[in-house]
Chains A and B, each alone.
Chain A
């Protein structure tokens, strides 16, 4: 009986010992697992720093191969949550944090680099609780480039256009007749000026509401020169209310020159051109009032217009003036088409001065632009056919 009790006691002791060993092993295992959770992610590799190409300097591009513990990693415990880019001006010196990227990134642009300064870079992979750093990259300096090679096709096209324009200008200067198709709106300029002369009423020329930094205003002022030449020849009364002081000055110069060229400088008067206000609707209200009170025989609305286009065109129509409008503003063209007798649509506005003056420089420029349009037409058709039949994508030529 006693032996039996002794055996049972030994079994209990063995059980207790075994339990202790099991618990201790379990504890060791769990602490080992916990230690693995705090392990840093693997560092990024192949860090390369080099001057950013095709820029005006001040930038270095840093690239790297992402850590194996980045997106798609098998181990979730030490997954990369982002990268920090470190920079130093000395090899082995202290590195400062330059910026951060998200996980999965492999590029960073240091846009705060000074030209000519040697910079050292490292990339730090950030884990959940810890991080690891790459080896330093070969140092790099930022510098400005003379040419942006990404724009090579733009340059090529600009060069072709410029050479075409020069070629056609020379052709026109040498006396060759350059053909330009009829533009209905411009054929009516003489009719409008003649009508105003016969009726003894004024001609109003509205050069839009933009300043001289708009190509449309420049085109409008150039057309004004041709219209003014006609009014000088016909001795018609011209009036130009403007909404910009610089446009007023330009219009005065243009009209003065046109009247001189027409042999009638005596008819020129500075008060033909005057400034009203820069305010869009203040200007519109004033011009509307002028239309209604002066009842002009002809109104020219040429240049850059916005919401005032219909108000002006409708008032001109209401007073019975013959109206010739022209703008390259797609949103305003419908109003001019609806309310005016003739409308120069977009490109026709820029072609108008060449058409009216037959000046070799302007004619050559217009013909040169047609070369550009021909190139565009060619690539639209060929490019679309190529991409349809899966031959080649030519759109990269126009990026």
Chain B
């Protein structure tokens, strides 16, 4: 049984890899299988990990106020009936509005205040050249980066120069991040090759 599983996994892996050559029926089959199975899998997962524990179990336990969430869920399904389909907008409005409201202070603190707090650092550390340089890079990089994302002023003159410096800092960090991620993707490819050449074909041990 395990051998059959390995063969199916190996053939499906090759099917997906065949896309590197060009689109072909083998890839189309693998793609459809993947999409179909994963959609079904996610439906079952959502049912057992969201619907049952978060709604059904609570209602059975007598926590009737959970019916409010259930009603909003049912409103979403009313889209199936064109005449009253507009009611589904209430659920959407609740989700979008709640998300925006909840994240307002959260993002203000995590993406704004904490960043500023960690950027208020000495520009000169006596007797420690490397830390001085590091601190200067942090302060100048953050400052010029923020200037780049300032939308109320044209990027011209000294302001434009600072914005350009900011984008240089961003591109440098993107370059570093690119290299780092490519290496981690290589390890994924190595993992797949290890499966094909080792587990499947037994060519490497």
Q: Do A and B interact with each other, yes or no? A: yes
User: CB-CB < 8 A to B30: which residues of A?
Assistant: 285
B123–A388 CB distance below 8 A = yes
Nearest Cβ in chain A — how far from B172, in angstroms?
11
8 Å CB contact of A398 from B76, B96, B116, B122? B116
Nearest Cβ in chain B — how far from A208, in angstroms?
14
A335–B154 CB distance below 8 A = no
A393–B120 CB distance below 8 A = yes
A377–B122 CB distance below 8 A = no
A395–B170 CB distance below 8 A = no
User: CB-CB < 8 A to B152: which residues of A?
Assistant: 178-181, 367, 370
Give the segment of A8-16, A119-127, A153-161 that binds chain B: A153-161
Bound Cα distance from A183 to B152, whole angstroms? 12
The DSSP consensus for interface residues of chain A is helix
User: CB-CB < 8 A to B22: which residues of A?
Assistant: 292
Interface string of B106-145 (1 = CB under 8 A from A): 0111001111110111111000000000000001001100
Interface string of A266-302 (1 = CB under 8 A from B): 0000000001111101110110110011000000000
Bound Cα distance from A367 to B155, whole angstroms? 16
Using known A-B contacts A157-B113, A215-B103, determine if residue A334 contacts B174 with beta carbons closer than 8 Å. Answer: yes
Give the segment of A85-93, A230-238, A345-353 that binds chain B: A345-353
8 Å CB contact of A345 from B79, B124, B170? B170
Bound Cα distance from A372 to B151, whole angstroms? 12
Bound Cα distance from A379 to B114, whole angstroms? 12
Bound Cα distance from A335 to B103, whole angstroms? 27
A181–B116 CB distance below 8 A = no
A276–B35 CB distance below 8 A = yes
Bound Cα distance from A380 to B109, whole angstroms? 15
A279–B120 CB distance below 8 A = no
User: CB-CB < 8 A to B36: which residues of A?
Assistant: 277
Give the number of residues in B that approach A within 8 Å (Cβ atoms).
Answer: 65
Bound Cα distance from A214 to B102, whole angstroms? 11
Give the segment of A26-34, A71-79, A99-107, A245-253 that binds chain B: A245-253
A372–B112 CB distance below 8 A = yes
Residue of A nearest to B124 (CB): A388
Bound Cα distance from A154 to B123, whole angstroms? 26
Residue of A nearest to B40 (CB): A277
Bound Cα distance from A383 to B123, whole angstroms? 10
Bound Cα distance from A366 to B174, whole angstroms? 25
B155–A249 CB distance below 8 A = no
8 Å CB contact of A385 from B31, B76, B123, B150? B123
User: CB-CB < 8 A to A283: which residues of B?
Assistant: 35
User: CB-CB < 8 A to A330: which residues of B?
Assistant: 173, 177
A399 at the interface (CB under 8 A from B): yes
> Chain A: residues with CB nearer than 8 A to chain B?
153-154, 157-158, 161, 178-183, 212-215, 218, 246, 249-250, 253, 275-279, 281-283, 285-286, 288-289, 292-293, 307, 310, 330-331, 333-335, 337-338, 345-348, 351, 366-367, 370, 372-374, 376-377, 379-381, 383-385, 387-388, 393-395, 398-399
Known: A250-B92, A277-B36. 4 other contacts (CB 8 A): A213-B99, A215-B99, A246-B92, A335-B181
List, sorted by A's number, 30 A–B pairs whose CB atoms are closer than 8 Å.
A212-B99, A215-B100, A215-B107, A218-B99, A246-B95, A250-B96, A277-B36, A278-B39, A278-B46, A283-B35, A285-B35, A289-B23, A293-B23, A334-B175, A337-B174, A370-B150, A373-B149, A373-B150, A374-B150, A376-B112, A376-B116, A377-B143, A377-B147, A377-B150, A381-B143, A384-B119, A387-B120, A387-B121, A394-B120, A398-B114
Top 10 A-B pairs, shortest CB-CB distance: A279-B38, A383-B120, A282-B38, A334-B178, A278-B42, A398-B117, A334-B174, A277-B39, A398-B113, A395-B120
